[in-house]
């Protein structure tokens, strides 16, 4: 038992440390966005296309990586594709037009997605349902740390050496992290209590039957669309807030980077609390935390919509509150509970793909709102608040 606990801790810590560097190779265009826009005179729509390529590429990767990694080996799959992601970051840095940046960046989204669903599958083999809220709460913290490191390291690199350097050198840290991760982890315990007990009596299925069984589950589709609505905010804020403050507040690029670091601080502070409350106080029920997340984040977004962009202190407060509340949601843990650990990679990949489809759509839709209709920025934040309330209403009928 002591040896099993040692390995469980080793697997978890290894993944947390590795994932803390993943966003450096995934979302660097967020913090570098103002510089890219300034160099190429991109419109909001063109920036939206750049964002959508990355996010939809990630969605496509999510669909395939989870199932194929469960078939061919999770840690090997993560290693190969994350190293490819490092290379695609470098290729993107040489772009000199929208398409020469967007195409390799979209491919990077596909490659980088391998860090998520296969990793979820590994953790689900080692940790049972009664502990997953806390485990994936820690994963949520690591994603917040990842965003914080990305914002700080990429932001500093872009400010000092330009956006191209930000796409070239920081992602090397992600490459080093994944190599260490590969040598430290194993896909499954020899005596897999978590997966073995939960999947007792099941027979191996082919890929089509597995996808069909998941995608024809009404509760899965509902919770996946809730995840999509969550991602409108989770990825909408980092996409647009730096541009918003750079254009509307009169702040310098460096000052905007410092102000918007409030977002990763919020993202990393909520998940651990949420997971502990769900596991310890709510008997592993996930729905209450998802509803609470929606209500608080909607309130913060409404506040962001009505204050002046020059009020940076109150703006930072609402950014921290909104991202903190968004990170309270445990919808991703509910999906793993729904399909057990055997198909955790497949189900979480399909689930996450829904989220990134919505995330890419918001990049296009909000850019059209800003450029074509010439609507004020407040409309963007009010729309985000509305979708958070909508996600809570949809959840009413879902068993989770």
Residue 305 tokens read as 């919509």
What is the predicted pLDDT for the residue at 237? 93
pLDDT in tens, 88-139: 999 999 999 999 999 999 999 999 999 999 998 999 888 887 787 888 889 9
Higher pLDDT, 236 or 373: 236
Predicted TM-score (pTM) above 0.75? yes
Read off the pLDDT of each residue in 267-293 and give the average, rounded to a whole number.
Answer: 84
What is the predicted pLDDT for the residue at 1? 57
What is the predicted pLDDT for the residue at 85? 98
Residue 270 tokens read as 């909520």
Pairwise CA distance, residues 159 & 101, whole Å: 19
| Class of residue 172 by CB neighbours under 10 A (exposed 0-12, middle 13-18, buried 19+) | middle
What is the residue whose two structure tokens read 């191996």? 204
- The whole-chain average pLDDT of the chain stands at 88
| DSSP, residue by residue, 123-145 | HHHHS-HHHHHHHHHHHHHHHHH
Question: Cα–Cα distances in Å, from 255 out to 233, 237, 305?
Answer: 23, 17, 20
Residue 109 tokens read as 């989204």
Q: What percent of the chain has pLDDT over 90?
A: 56
Domain 9-185+207-395 in CATH: superfamily?
A: MFS general substrate transporter like domains (1.20.1250.20)
Q: Which of 184, 168, 214 is nearest to 14 (CA)?
A: 184
Alpha carbon 308 to its chain centroid, in Å, reads: 28
| Class of residue 43 by CB neighbours under 10 A (exposed 0-12, middle 13-18, buried 19+) | middle
What is the residue whose two structure tokens read 């000092």? 160
CA atoms in the 13 A half-sphere facing the CB of 361? 14
CA atoms in the 13 A half-sphere facing the CB of 254? 6
Pairwise CA distance, residues 92 & 171, whole Å: 12
Number of H helices, E strands in the chain: 22, 0
What is the predicted pLDDT for the residue at 297? 96
């Amino acid at each position: 038992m002591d040896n099993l606990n040692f390995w469980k801790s080793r697997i978890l810590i290894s993944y947390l440390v590795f994932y803390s560097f993943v966003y450096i190779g995934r979302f660097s265009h967020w913090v570098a966005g103002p510089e890219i826009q300034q160099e190429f005179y991109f419109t909001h729509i063109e920036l939206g296309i750049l964002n959508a390529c990355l996010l939809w590429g990630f969605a496509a990767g999510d669909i395939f990586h989870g199932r194929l990694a469960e078939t061919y080996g999770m840690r090997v799959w993560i290693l190969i594709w994350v190293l490819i992601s490092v290379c695609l970051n470098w290729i993107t840095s040489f772009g000199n037009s929208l398409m020469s940046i967007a195409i390799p960046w979209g491919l990077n989204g596909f490659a980088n997605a391998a860090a998520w669903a296969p990793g979820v599958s590994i953790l689900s083999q080692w940790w049972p349902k009664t502990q997953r809220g806390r485990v994936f709460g820690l994963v949520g913290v690591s994603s917040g740390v990842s965003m914080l490191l990305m914002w700080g390291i990429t932001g500093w690199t872009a400010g000092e050496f330009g956006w191209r350097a930000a796409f070239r050198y920081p992602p090397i840290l992600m490459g080093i992290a994944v190599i260490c991760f590969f040598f430290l982890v194993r896909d499954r315990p020899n005596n897999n209590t978590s997966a073995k007990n939960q999947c007792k009596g099941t027979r191996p299925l082919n890929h089509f039957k597995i996808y069909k069984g998941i995608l024809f589950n009404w509760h899965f589709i509902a919770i996946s669309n809730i995840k999509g609505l969550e991602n409108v905010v989770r990825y909408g804020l980092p996409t647009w807030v730096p541009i918003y403050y750079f254009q509307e507040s009169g702040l310098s690029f460096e000052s905007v980077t410092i102000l918007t670091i409030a977002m990763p601080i919020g993202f990393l502070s909520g998940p651990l609390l949420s997971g502990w409350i769900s596991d310890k106080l709510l008997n592993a029920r996930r729905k209450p935390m998802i509803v609470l997340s929606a209500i608080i984040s909607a309130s913060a977004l409404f506040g962001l919509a009505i204050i002046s962009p020059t009020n940076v202190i109150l703006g930072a407060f609402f950014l921290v509150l909104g991202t903190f509340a968004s990170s309270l949601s445990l919808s991703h843990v509910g999906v793993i509970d729904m399909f057990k650990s055997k198909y955790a990679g497949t189900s979480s990949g399909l689930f996450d793909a829904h989220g990134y489809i919505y995330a890419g759509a918001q990049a296009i839709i909000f850019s059209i709102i800003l450029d074509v209709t010439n609507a004020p920025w407040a409309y963007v934040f009010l729309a985000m608040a509305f979708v958070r309330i909508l996600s809570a209403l949809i959840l009413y009928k879902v068993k989770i």
